[in-house]
Amino acid sequence: MTVRVRFAPSPTGHLHIGGVRTALFNFLYARHTGGKFILRLEDTDADRNVPGAEQAFVDAFHWLGLTWDEGFDIGGPYGPYRCSERVAIYRSHADQLLAAGRAYACFCPQSDAKETPSEEEGGEGPAGAMGCSGGCASLAADEALRRIRAGEPHAIRFRAPSGPPIVVRDIIRGEIAFERDDLRDFVIIKRDGMPTYNFQVAIDDHLMAITHVIRGEEHLSNTPRQLLVYEAFGWQPPQFAHLPIVLDESRKKLSKRDPNVLPVSAYRERGYVPQAIVNFLALLGWSPGGEEEIFSLEALCERFDLDRVGRAGAVFDLAKFQWMANQYFKALAPHEAVRLIREQAGVLGYRLPPYADDSWLERAVSLVQDGLTCARDFFSAASVWLEPEVAYDEEARALLETEGAHRVIEAYLSACEQDPVWDEAANRARTQAVGRALGVKGKDLFMPIRAALTGQLHGPDLQKSMALLPREIAMERMRRALALSEARDHQGR
RNA sequence: GGCCCCAUGGUCAAGUGGUUAAGACACCACCCUUUCACGGUGGUAACGGGGGUUCGAAUCCCCCUGGGGUCACCA
């Protein structure tokens, strides 16, 4: 039997990192086993559907390099793959259950008791929030039918039979037993005619011949209800694999609004390398066992298996993520990095200076690429070459105010004025000549120049850095640096 | 609160009865570098607690503690 797995998001917002992780594990498992990966859209809550969300999923997965074999966008033999287009299917299944007496119409007013048992009252236990408290379960069939015909609003509840515990067989966690008494009668069709998740998911997974349900651990406690649905129809349930939850720094389930963890689209917008996200997420809850950590998508497909997925929740560690992002960004070929940077300039609406042609950009990136995590980082890392104005930081200012620095810059500037050649080699030679003439070397020679030109005491290789700056701008900065120290001199007297 | 899951350094994690308890991120130190970053070397740091089982427990069992998830006519 070939493996069939699915990722079934609801289009209620952007795709977040936890969802990507779940999708990725499904994808990897399908590819590893030679099975099918299916994308289904669980859009049965019309009120919460966000327009554009489904396209955003598709775009995000394409960007990440995930591919699927059947889905709401491409169709397939088990369609439709949009739950809102399958309501007739859920209805007819509910009718079967109704006819068999395994479900009943519930006319109770919609329970507003969705709140958890009030903590203040010492907790009376879960109030009547679950199950039907109005006696609908024991209504005579013809009476129920009459009220339905009369147009009375109603939901359909599953009649949870008593019996032995329900056992979830989970590939990752083993067997987990749930008492049926804890389940009660749950709604399968809402009064608006839409199915609830626990009903819909079981029917779709069965009808779509899903063999393995791989999803987040938060779904574990719902699984027995779904198993009840399988049981009622006499279906063979799929295998389950509940993934450890992705946690934030305070060990809570990752929220969609976590300030540190961006929606996937945001990573794309900032010019991250998608493979970095895939690689990082693959290692969250799964371990390849060896000591390597950098894996291509292909390598992940080959190695991934459910038997090495962990059970404990995994914290999304931002620092490690950035490290991973950097691993990929600095491995980019120069022209690739430049492409991302140009794209990023577009996103930011940033106007690159006229001298920033491709070859200039390649030289510029190569000087800072080792430290970048995404294309957006380039604009701060390279600001000294990009921005017309220098901002002298405190250290630089202090240095420039010394007499030694003043002399070096003065000499360097006049050497520039006499020689129009401006490239790395010429600058290097000029620096050395100035050093000889002044009897200055080492830090005392290089630092003033660096400070004058970049406003900082640290940065990439000075000569390369300098060569990136047009001669006129460089000379202007030296003049400004001299003015800085002169101004101080006057003040001082 | 009920039910359920989980528990190795700050974080990700290897480990499946006998190990000096890997590795990575982060952190610290040193080296490289005229600076910074990268890189290299080294270091600090863990089996939550208590009972068992066993010749021997991070590994198996029980209890406790702690953390998390879930309790909707959301998915």
> What are the Cα distances from residue A182, in Å, to A157, A187, A467?
16, 15, 73
Asked if strand B comes closer than 7 Å to A323 Cβ, the answer is yes
- Where do the domains of chain A lie, and which CATH numbers do they carry? 4-246 (3.40.50.620), 333-382 (1.10.8), 394-492 (1.10.10.350)
Asked if strand B comes closer than 7 Å to A179 Cβ, the answer is yes
Nearest-angstrom CA–CA distance, A118 and A67 = 46
Q: What is the pLDDT of residue A67?
A: 98
Q: In the structure, how far is the CA atom of residue A276 from the C1' atom of nucleotide B25, in angstroms?
A: 14
Q: In the structure, how far is the CA atom of residue A149 from the C1' atom of nucleotide B48, in angstroms?
A: 61
Q: Are A344 and A270 in contact (CB under 8 A)?
A: yes
Q: In the structure, how far is the CA atom of residue A150 from the C1' atom of nucleotide B56, in angstroms?
A: 75
Three-class SS state of A215:
strand
In 3D space, the residue among A472, A448, A468, A322 whose CA is nearest the CA of residue A382 turns out to be A468
Q: Which of residues 16-45 of A touch strand B (CB under 7 A)?
A: 42, 44-45
**Which stretches does DSSP call E strand in A337-487?**
none
Q: What is the pLDDT of residue A132?
A: 79
Asked if strand B comes closer than 7 Å to A158 Cβ, the answer is no
Nearest-angstrom CA–CA distance, A405 and A446 = 9
In 3D space, the residue among A232, A148, A138 whose CA is nearest the CA of residue A183 turns out to be A232
Nearest nucleotide to A8 (CA to C1') is: B75
Predicted-assembly ipTM surpassing the 0.90 threshold:
yes
Task: Give me the residues of chain A with pLDDT under 70, please.
Answer: 111-130, 487-493
Nearest-angstrom CA–CA distance, A42 and A60 = 17
Asked if strand B comes closer than 7 Å to A101 Cβ, the answer is no
Nearest-angstrom CA–CA distance, A453 and A476 = 9
List beta partners, residue A187. A157
Selected catalytic residue, list A253, A256, A320, A464:
A256
Asked if strand B comes closer than 7 Å to A13 Cβ, the answer is no
Chain B bases having any atom below 7 Å from a protein CB = 1-8, 10-15, 22-26, 34-38, 67-75
Clarify whether A256 is annotated catalytic.
Answer: yes
Q: What is the pLDDT of residue A125?
A: 34
Nearest nucleotide to A119 (CA to C1') is: B1
A36-39, strands of its sheet edge to edge: A70-71, A36-39, A4-7, A212-216, A239-243, A166-170, A174-178
pLDDT digits (tens, 9 = 90+) for A7-47: 999 999 889 999 999 999 999 999 999 999 999 999 998 88
Asked if strand B comes closer than 7 Å to A108 Cβ, the answer is yes
Q: What is the pLDDT of residue A130?
A: 62
